[in-house]
Structure 1
Amino acid sequence: MKNKFIKIDDLSLFYREAGEHNEETILLLHGNPTSSHMYKELMGLLQDKYHVIAPDYPGYGFSDRPTTSEYEYSFENITNTVNQFIDALGLKNFYLFIQDYGGPVGFRIATKRPELIKGLIIQNANVYAEGFGEWAMEIGGYIQNNDLEKLSAYKKHLVTLEGLKEQYVTGAKDVSLIDPSSYYLDYAFLQRPGVEELFLTLFDNYGTNFEKYEEWQNYLKTHQPRTLVVWGTNDKFFSKPGGEAYTKDLKDVELHFFDGGHFMLEEYTPEVAQLIKKFISK
């Protein structure tokens, strides 16, 4: 696997790349509060058959972290940056793997540039109202009731080591399979000057995604991309009904639910890799 940097609008974006360029391509968009690191093991299991690429968003992982005055930390703008990344690498037709924050970024790309998408692989990324889990409902309640004190306390907890660990271990079937280096690396990235502010700025922008749900659902109805759903059923952000909801709009969708949490790849990477290989080979 190669670890690379590329210049996009004067920003240095880090990305991982493996496999041969003449094979099927999979673009993997990471969630929050992690980076392309979450896909490292999966990419290792896929590189024998596919060309796999996973970038770090601005402010995340090893990519540049401009201040909020230098870069707009919104899902719309991060999508613009990822679109430029796609063009800079000359990607024309690929499978899109999305998780968590990768969902709103990926669906913005898919709706604007449907010709790029050969198929979707969705892991705990929601575009339906029925997919909100316990933690998502808690956050929504604070916002709806304008309880800024509780919302602020919740956000501060999210960026602590314990708060990051909770996102990995909650809902896991076997916590001993969760690699502590994953959340310790996330925490180390968050400790760099200014990064916590960037993290929370994008977190506050998440509400802009809800108004897009109808548009993204229409994309699914209209374009009918082949879709593989792999989902941790114990996810406190995105619950199992969110994964099941894709059957409402898609005719060619394959669902697989795992006894895991938000970062279920920590436990089930080999199983997911096999499902992806079968999915693409059909």
Structure 2
Amino acid sequence: MTTIHHRYATVRGQRLFYREAGPPAAPAVVLLHGFPTSSFMFRNLIPLLADRFHVIAPDHLGFGLSDAPPVDEFDYTFDALADLTAELLEQLGVSRFALYVHDYGAPLGWRLALADPAAVTAIISQNGNGYETGFTEDFWKPVRAYWQDQTPQTEAAIRQALTLEVTRWQYLHGVPDESLVDPDTWYHDFALLSRPGNDLVQLRLFADYAGNLPLYPKLHTYLRDSGVPLLAVWGRNDEIFRPEGALAFTDDSPRAEICLLDGGHFLLESHLDAAAGTIRSFLERTLT
């Protein structure tokens, strides 16, 4: 069995939880989770990588087992979460690493790469968007309305994303065989979403997500200039970030590898073996 350590570190006065496995001297791979989950989404992937790589998977502040200070005590922005991640990696002595980004983890990863391009050895985007074409219209319509005008009406629409029903939908939509997805996933996420005050944390991040779009041109320039190896492994049936978002990486990274699998947003829950095999092969070719 793979030994996975479950640890905490204090960064800027905040306690961050992270999972760590693999030889410390091996090439590092940093796994950045999305909404509404945590490093829990990587619980099955980590053992499949840790024999060859030093794997680190933090919970973002406000998610999982990390601290979740109320919004009047911490200004929740993607800039702030990226800064905490960067300082955590610095504390751990990880100065060069491959990035695995999913959903919210993508704009955090893009910030890390733009702030220190030389630190990033490779990028794996698993349903982690970096292009306007990746947004699906129906899912993002109420979110865009909330960006434009934060009213009781637009807030009520966006709060649907915090319900058990929509959390379950994110895991099951687009999955041909729903029996492959463990119900513990959405009950686990919903329990943490339901902590007192966490709704306001998530609303603050929904509003701040608009600030991620202006980063895209800078990301595209970085991909063109750096030539960083890139793999997009994507659930082609995702109704949050559609597969065109994966294909778009080749516009700026012509040698990017694109793997579309017959799954949804949380691809690791239904297609772990296929995704992990592709990811591992990519990392072995680019990092070792």
TM range (shorter): over 0.9
TM-score under structure 1 length normalisation: 0.96
1:206/1:256 Cα in 2 relative to 1: closer, same or farther (>3 Å)? Answer: same
Which of the numbers 256, 264, 269 marks the counterpart of 2:259?
256
Structure-to-structure mapping, 1:79-228, within 5 angstroms: 79-139=82-142, 142-143=145-146, 148=151, 151-228=154-231
- Corresponding residue SS for 1:272: helix
Question: 1:140 offset after TM fit, Å?
Answer: 5.1
- Worse-superposed segment, 154-163 or 112-121: 154-163
* 1:7 to 2:18 alignment: no
8 Å CA contact 1:136, 1:236 repeated in 2: yes
The equivalent position to 2:243 in structure 1, one of 236, 240, 245, is 240
- Please give the per-residue CA displacement for 1:78-117, whole angstroms capped at 9, x wherever unaligned: 1111111110111021110000000100001001101110
1:37 paired residue among 27, 30, 40:
40
| Distance in 2, Cα, partners of 1:145 & 1:75 | 18
Q: CA deviation at 1:152?
A: 2.3
Task: Report the AA paired with residue 2 of structure 1.
Answer: H
1:111 match: secondary structure: helix
Percent identity, aligned pairs only?
37
CA root-mean-square deviation? 1.6
How far apart in 2 are the matches of 1:177 and 1:154?
Answer: 30
| Alignment partners' CA distance in 2, 1:144 and 1:67 | 21
| CA distance, structure 2, for counterparts of residue 97 and residue 140 of structure 1 | 25
Shift >6 Å, 4+ stretches? none
Query: For 1:22, which of 22, 25, 29 is the aligned residue?
Result: 25
1:153 shift after superposition: 2.8
Equivalent position of 2:50 in the other structure: 47
Structure 1 SS opposite 2:196 = coil
TM-score, normalised on structure 2? 0.94
> Which 5+ residue runs of structure 1 have no aligned equivalent?
none
Contact 1:45–1:270 (Cα < 8 Å) also in 2: no
> 1:69: Cα distance to partner?
1.8
Whether the 8 Å contact between 1:14 and 1:63 is mirrored in structure 2 is yes
Matching residue within 72, 75, 96 for 1:72: 75
CA deviations 1:92-145 (Å, max 9, x no partner) are 211100000001000010011011100000011111111111444422563488
Q: What amino acid does structure 2 have at the position aligned with 1:35? A: S
Distance in 2 of aligned mates of 1:144 and 1:186: 24
Question: Is 1:35–1:61's contact at 8 Å kept on the other side of the alignment?
Answer: yes
Q: How many residues were matched structurally?
A: 282
